Amino acid sequence: MRKNYVLKAYTQLGSFLGTIPDADFQGFTKSVTDGLGECTIIVGRKFDDVATTLTEGNHVEIFVSDKEAVLVEPIHAIRIYQGEITRVLPIVDGSREAIEVHMMGYGTRLGLDVLKSGAATSLYTRSTGGVGTTTTAQNVDIGTVMRGIIDRYIAETTNPKIAYTTTTIPTVGTNTQYIFVQRTYREAIEKCLSVAPFGYFTFLGADGLFNFRPIASTPTHKFIFGKHFTSLRVSRSIERVRNTILIYDGVSTYKKYEDAASIAQFGRRIERLTDLGINASGTMDSIGAKFLAENKSAEVQFVCDIIDNAGSDDKGYDIESIQPGDTCSFFNFNTSIATLLRENMIITQVDYTPDKVTITVEPIKYGIADVSEKLKKQISETQSEGIPQSYT
C-alpha cells in the first residue's frame, strides 16, 4: 500500500487553519532527551503566497496513512510529528519558486523557559507537588519531582502541547533532595536524570506524552538481517570514557567518586562538577554513582538503516513503530559481529524518511557535554548563586 502524508496547520492556540497539500515531506530526527527534532518541508508556492498556514509560530501536525494505519480508528492515520514553524525561507531556482519551511518539536521549548511558580524561580523538591516554593528541600522520589517539573511547565505555559500519565512518569523508588535555582525546565529534567537509577531515559514524541521511564527488559523490536536491513555500521571508542568525578556542592562538601576497574583499563579520566543545588549527601552520592555507571566503559555504537515495508509483504519493517527509547536485537549475523551485539539494546536516535529510518543504538549518557556546553553550565551556576527566590 502506498504511503500518503497529510500535513495540518493550526494557530498557536489550536484553531485549525487548513491542510498543506503541496508539501514535499523531507523527514525528521527524534532522539531520547531531545524528543522530536527539526523537520523540513518544501512547499510548491511563491514566497508571497504563504497565506496563514505557513506563518512562523504556527503548529503543524504530520499524519501518515499506510497498511498499518488503516487499523487506527476513526481516521486511519498515524500522527508521526508535531511541532511549530520556526523558519520560512524562499527558494528561487530559475523559473522555479518554492518555500522551505523548518519546524521544531515542542521539547525545544523546555530549554527556552525557566522552571518557576509565578514569580519564584527558586524551587525546592517537595513531597506534595514534586517541587514548590517553600524554602526547605525535602527528600522526594525522583518520579514525583519529574511530574512536578512538567506540572509547572503546563501551568505556566499557554497551550503547552505536553502531558503525561502515571505510566509515562512512574515513581522510581530513589529519592533526591535538591534546590532548582533559575534552571530551565530542560536543565531541571537533566538534573533528575543525573540521580535516577541507571537505564532511565526521557522522550517526548508525536503523541505529546512526556516519558521518564526505564529501558524495557525485553526487545521492543527484532531486526533480521536480509529482511529488515542489509548492513550494520559499528564503531568503538574510549574518547568519552570518564571513570572519576569530583563533585562540589559550592558550600562545604567536596567528594571523589571513581571506578577502579575502569582506571586500571583506561587510566584515570576525570570529570569535574560544581552543583549549588545539591542539598544532601545522598543526592551527591547518587549523582556520582550514576555518572560512573554511564561513563566508565568504552562506547560501542551501532548505526543501521531499517527499510520500510510499504512496497512488499515479506521485506521491510513498520518504521513508524520505531521510537527512541525502544529496545532492539539483531539476528542472522555471523559469529564475529554477533559477539558485539547484546540481546537488548536501546535505540537512542531515529532519523525518519518515508522509505527508511536510520537508527542509532548506543548507551545513554547524560554526564558528558562538549567544552562550550560545560562552560555555559558552570557560568550559569555562578550567576545563580545568591539570586533572590522571586523576581519583581
Residue 184 DSSP one-character state: B
Task: Report the candidate in 194, 196, 181, 389 with the shortest Cα–Cα distance to residue 277.
Answer: 181
Query: What is this structure's pTM?
Result: 0.87
Q: What is the pLDDT of residue 71?
A: 57
Asked which of 89-93, 176-180, 331-335, 338-342 is least confident by mean pLDDT, the reply is: 338-342
| pLDDT average, residue stretch 58-86 | 82
CATH superfamily to which 221-237+299-361 belongs: Baseplate protein-like domain - beta roll fold (2.30.300.10)
The closest alpha carbon to 180, from 133, 239, 241, belongs to: 133
Domain ranges of the chain: 4-105, 110-214, 221-237+299-361, 244-295
The continuous run of DSSP H or E covering 316 comes out as: none
250 has pLDDT over 60: yes
Q: Report the C-alpha gap between 388 and 374 in whole angstroms.
A: 24
Contacts of 161 by beta carbon, 8 Å cutoff, 6+ apart: 59, 82, 106, 208
49 burial type by CB count under 10 A (0-12 exposed, 13-18 middle, 19+ buried): exposed
pLDDT of residue 387: 66
Cell of 303: 548505526
- Helix 185-195 to helix 142-156 angle (10° resolution) is 170
80 vs 26, higher pLDDT: 80
3-state DSSP call for residue 211?
strand
Q: For position 234, what pLDDT does the model report?
A: 86
pLDDT at 40: 94
User: What's the sign of the alpha-carbon dihedral 162, 166, 168, 173?
Assistant: positive
Res 156: pLDDT: 96
Fold assignment, 4-105: Thrombin, subunit H (2.40.10)
Three-class secondary structure of residue 155 per DSSP: helix
pLDDT at 256: 96
47-61: average pLDDT = 81
Judge whether 325 and 211 are in contact, CB under 8 Å. Answer: yes
What whole-number distance in Å separates Cα of residue 144 and Cα of residue 175? 9
Q: For 228-240, how does the pLDDT look when each residue is reduced to its tens digit (9 = 90+)?
A: 998 888 888 999 8
Across 103-117, 166-180, 200-214, 288-302, least confident range: 288-302
